[in-house]
Amino acid sequence: MEAADETQKEAWCVYVLRCRNDALYIGLTNNVHKRLGEHEKGTGSKYVRSQRPFRLVKTIPCNNASEARSLEYRLKRLSRSRKIEMLGLNSEQTKN
């Protein structure tokens, strides 16, 4: 069990949340379950705390932290419509 937890901590990913106001929030983590728990408790980020509830709509696995940071940066620079297109999100995933 400990080895599985350790592996999960090493699995870097970029994640996308759809917030209450329909905004897409992009973040990165090496433990998505822990990070989502932090967002749910209101300790993950000020923005998500103010826009709860949210829903996880996408995770993108990365090879390492550097790759995750680079992808997160590139995605955050895109317009909403371009993010939806690039992430392959459909209207059900981006609307209430």
H helix or E strand, kind and range, residue 92: helix 91-94
Q: Which conformational region is residue 88 in: left (phi greater than 0), alpha (psi within -120 to 50 degrees), or beta?
A: left
Domains, in order of start, for the chain: 2-94 (3.40.1440.10)
Contact 68/62 with Cβ under 8 angstroms?
yes
Of the pLDDT bands very low, low, confident and very high (cuts 50, 70, 90), residue 95 is low
Q: In what order do the strands lie in the sheet with 13-19?
A: 24-29, 13-19, 54-61
The string of pLDDT tens digits covering residues 60-91 is: 999 999 999 999 999 999 999 999 999 999 76
The string of pLDDT tens digits covering residues 6-58 is: 444 568 999 999 999 999 999 999 999 999 999 999 999 999 999 999 999 99
